Amino acid sequence: MILTVTLNTALDLTYTVPALVPHTSHRVTEVAERPGGKGLNVARVLATLGHDTVVTGFAGGPTGAVLRDLLAALPPRDALVSVAGNTRRTIAVADAATGDTTQLNEPGPHISAAEWAGFLRTYENLLAGADAVALCGSLPPGIHVGAYAELVRAARTARVPVLLDTSGEPLRRGIAARPDIVKPNVDELAQLTGAREPVRAAHDARRRGAHSVVASLGPDGMLAATPDGVWRAAPPAAVRGNPTGAGDSAVAGLISGVAEGLSWPDRLTRAVALSTATVLAPAAGEFDSAAYEDLLTRVGVERHAA
């Protein structure tokens, strides 16, 4: 079983408009409503790949009830912890003319100390049956900034491989707890280390505690600095579409590769193929399966000079 943690779950709303023009009214041509938050997106991709997946985190209020109703119809199993506050919404406005997407993210409900303690009990129980765990996304209000470090340490104590995908101070604190993999994008990596050159920054992040660092390079693919070497993987060509959720699909590729014991080149091939195929899909948590199968044979992976 692969466990994904989304402390700041969301109800994802996607509005499609013919063209997004500031300071005007818009007629929405299509509305999509999905359970969201980074870890839930990861879990949906993992389930499509055939992995037994459990999601945990927080859900509450009327929005949380809608999220759980939608989640009930999907393969990932629901182990979310109920809270008093109302789950946030994220609103994506997709411009049909350009293919661009504008994202609006609410902050999330306040989590009390008692709710956090209840979550920790659930998390530790779930770790007992997990082959790998992915910790994903932002922290909702009320949770201390070292929360991910605490969750990384619990996974390491349980001897469960752990991937961390967050940013800012939660990443800085979490990386010091020595996660097996961290997956920042190049801007997050630069913010963490002060280095703009990706290879140098990835090595710096490893010295700060991460066992392996996988940096997302956007349309240029991914860079991985690991104990076994440095690799760079890239799609055969840039694609046009909705990039929302592409990073989450990359996480699904990486953590499923860990659970299956794949080599680093094979993990990166899967991660880049999934993230690229997600750009071609209508929403986060989904990917174009035909494109994915094709990309598996065409993603380029090269060993990089350390």
Give the burial string for 186-218 (b: 16+ CB within 10 Å, else e): bebbbbbbeeeebbebbbbbbeebbebbbbbee
Short-list 10, 106, 25, CA closest to 55: 10
Q: Can you tell me the distance from the alpha carbon of 28 to that of 156, in angstroms, rounded to the nearest whole number? A: 47
For the chain, give the longest Cα–Cα distance.
Answer: 54
Residue written as tokens 């990932």?
Answer: 76
- 100 belongs to the catalytic site: no
What is the torsion angle, in degrees rounded to the nearest 10, for the CA atoms of residue 147, residue 210, residue 56 and residue 263?
180
Question: In one letter, which amino acid is 99?
Answer: G
Q: Can you tell me the distance from the alpha carbon of 283 to that of 70, in angstroms, rounded to the nearest whole number? A: 15
Helices (H), 208-300: 246-260, 264-279, 289-296
CA angle centred on 137, ends 132 and 143, rounded to 5°: 100
Which candidate in 131, 248, 266, 294 is catalytic?
A: 248
Count of positions (residues) in the chain = 306
The conformational region for residue 137 under phi > 0 = left, psi -120 to 50 = alpha, else beta, is: left
Q: Can you tell me the distance from the alpha carbon of 171 to that of 138, in angstroms, rounded to the nearest whole number? A: 10
Task: Provide φ and ψ at 124, rounded to 5°.
Answer: -65, -35
List residues with catalytic annotation.
248
